[in-house]
Structure 1
Amino acid sequence: MSIDEGKLNAFLGKAVGDLGAAFSAVLVLLGDELGLYKALAKESLTPAELANRVGTNERYMREWLGNQAAGGYAELDPATGKYHLTEEQAACLADPAGPVDLPGAYEIARALFHTYPRVRENFISGNGMEWGEHHPCLFHGVERFFRGGYNSHLVGDWLPALDGVVEKLSRGGKVADIGCGHGASTVLMAKAFPNSHFIGYDYHEPSIETARKRAHAAGVTNTTVEQADAAGYQGSDFDLIAFFDCLHDMADPNGAARHARSALKDDGTCMVVEPFAGNSPAENLNPVGRIYYAASSMICVPVSLAKHGPALGAQAGETRLRKVIVEEGGFSRLRRAAETPFNIVLEARP
């Protein structure tokens, strides 16, 4: 067997980058939790100055800053020995309301390491793992990571892309947010459309409790949150029913789609936001697909299999989703209304 030296070096170069990211995951979490990113977003600092600002040890700050600058998560000025964040780095590392909350994504990675024994067992047995069985840092990480995309696109891009929905919500409509989790999407819509009423549904009781706290802290009074399964909530006559990054996780996505169809008004709209994916594995062999396949292996597929569901996975693709929503769910029309590098937004009509 002969090895192509060029191909070998190219592969090892990629692998070294991946190892650097994996080894640095804990340091990103520390940068977030200890306020290191926030301090560097405000001003350029030496390791000693950073340690003084946040109350850490200077020797450790030298190593942490070296790691961050080597990975492109911070910048070093060799002339002064000071480090800082660019505006773009600060937006993703030090601003929870930024376009992407990267530390939130690393919270998800942290949760995945907690699942390793169960993941190994599942790979052999084919068993599943309920959402509520995960480490709590998963729930907070998912909220943080997806909230950035919702902040950037939900009110300004996705809802306006749906036919007539913004006008209905501005006048006063009734909305269901299915699988609302900690309520990030529910609260965001409620703040934007004070004349409408928003009901968040989720089957995970601890998440519902957190969602209620989030709504209270945000001061929204046009929101209620209820514990209910996606195919069993009692509300009806909705103008809009939304699924944010959750339909593919469900044990009964067909039933959830049918229930949404029955709970909508005849002129209502169902918005299904799903991870961005093509319709075949070959279309998903890219950095975003890599992230979603990893999360799907350890979160999405096990959650569905835990209740003997179809395990659509995070890379289900629009063709598979169309079967769920139209052929099995009873909707007559489906179109892609919007997309981002991380999501596709589907509009389903009765």
Structure 2
Amino acid sequence: MQETTSVDQARLAELIERIITDAGAAVAFPLALVGDRLGVFSALAAADGPVTAEQLAGRTGLAERYLREWLLAMAAAGYVTYAGGGDPGPEAKRTARYRLSPEQAEAFTNSDSPGYVAGVFQNLTAATRMVDRITEVFRTGEGISWHEQHDDMFEGTERFFRPSYLANLTSSWIPSLSGIEERLDEGARVADVGCGFGTSTIIMAKAYPNSTFVGLDSHDRSIARARERAAGARVADRVTFRAEGATDLHGTYDLIAFFDCLHDMPDPVAALRAARPALTPGGRVMLVEPMSWDTVEETVGNPLGRLLAGASTFVCLPSGLAGPPAYGLGAQAGPARILQVAEEAGFGDARVALATETNRVFELAP
């Protein structure tokens, strides 16, 4: 007979309070995405001072009644600042004034800032739109290909990672590799595998004008956007984008980079095996992976671990199970498992070159 235990009412109340907090966050994200899409955050940032919902409606052309409720929700979430002005009585919410603090404006409107987080709203909201498919694959054990994700996932992922790439890619990640920055300065060949919209490729091309770059991604629409971005950034003369898979490398390269994508691949070993013979003498593979840990204890109770484990369940793990041999690394594989995969692929020298709060950079050499 199963042993029964009494419910600790204090712990139950604590759990319910946590669920209420999480529920508030869950509705704040899609509402923030609505504000991002409609330019409401930008309109607030551009205002001379605090505004009412009616004034904001005049600036944006949006419906005042919806803006009034949205502002209340965003202020309750801490994403917008309530600046007072609510008259007492039934009209209090109509006359309330709101603004963005400098920090809120930086986080929600400055896409070049390391603190820019608007892409998180788009990326994670897109992930949760797959809940019906996720329910299905839990039963079957099958995967969900990257191509099957909601369209917002592709742009949201680019917006999610771009601030980190701007802040770290050329300032710390590449310098952490043995001798690669010098090669890039002089003139090297670089492959960016799983390049998506080409943000990482373009950042490198701007920083190292003597080098040439090839971006590979199996998602045709992302490659089309990458080509547009390269032309707009005026680096198309030294950047080529190809709609090809991770094993379709041609020629040799001084640097082959995988930015936040190896763990999504059904066959990460094959991808690395293809990269190994494509390296020039002294060339390196750079893996940039989301921060992950080798033990459950390191992940549980860790806010970043909570976020990344949840995102992995929705996106990364299903992608890694979407084809043979279905390694299913997921975003929380841990550094020991990543290094094991590198060893399986034939790399005799693999190490963690650098760790930040949100990423680990791995350097692989034959």
Q: TM-score, normalised by structure 1?
A: 0.95
CA contact (8 A) 2:195 2:215 kept: yes
Specify the alignment match of 2:257 in structure 1. 242
2:42 is aligned, of 13, 35, 38, to 38
CA contact (8 A) 2:128 2:314 kept: no
The worse-fitting range, judged by mean Cα deviation, of 226-235 and 188-197 is 226-235
Structure 1 stretches lacking a partner, 5+ long: none
For residues 77 and 111 of structure 1, the distance between their equivalents in structure 2, rounded to whole angstroms, comes to 32
SS in structure 2 of the partner of residue 274 of structure 1: strand
Q: Trace 1:49-88 onto structure 2 (pairs within 5 A).
A: 49-78=55-84, 81-88=96-103
Specify the alignment match of 1:322 in structure 2. 339
Structure 2 stretches lacking a partner, 5+ long: 87-95
CA contact (8 A) 2:249 2:278 kept: no
SS in structure 2 of the partner of residue 52 of structure 1: helix
The worse-fitting range, judged by mean Cα deviation, of 151-160 and 315-324 is 151-160
1:340 maps onto 2:360 in alignment: no
Q: CA deviation at 1:90?
A: 1.6
For residues 17 and 54 of structure 1, the distance between their equivalents in structure 2, rounded to whole angstroms, comes to 31
- Amino acid in the other structure paired with 2:55: E
Taking only aligned residues, the RMSD between alpha carbons, in angstroms, comes to: 1.6
CA contact (8 A) 2:249 2:275 kept: no
Specify the alignment match of 1:349 in structure 2. 365
1:48 maps onto 2:66 in alignment: no
For residues 66 and 339 of structure 1, the distance between their equivalents in structure 2, rounded to whole angstroms, comes to 39
1:310 is aligned, of 300, 318, 327, to 327
Q: CA deviation at 1:79?
A: 5.1
SS in structure 2 of the partner of residue 316 of structure 1: coil
CA contact (8 A) 1:202 1:229 kept: yes
For residues 355 and 347 of structure 2, the distance between their equivalents in structure 1, rounded to whole angstroms, comes to 21
Q: Deviations over 1:236-283 (max 9, x none)?
A: 1x1111100000111111111111111111201111000101112221
1:139 maps onto 2:143 in alignment: no
1:291 maps onto 2:307 in alignment: yes
Specify the alignment match of 1:201 in structure 2. 216
1:29 is aligned, of 15, 33, 58, to 33
1:252 maps onto 2:267 in alignment: yes
CA contact (8 A) 1:202 1:226 kept: yes
Give the length in aligned residue pairs: 348
Q: TM-score, normalised by structure 2?
A: 0.91
Specify the alignment match of 1:230 in structure 2. 246
- Amino acid in the other structure paired with 1:64: W
Q: CA deviation at 1:4?
A: 2.5
- Amino acid in the other structure paired with 2:311: A
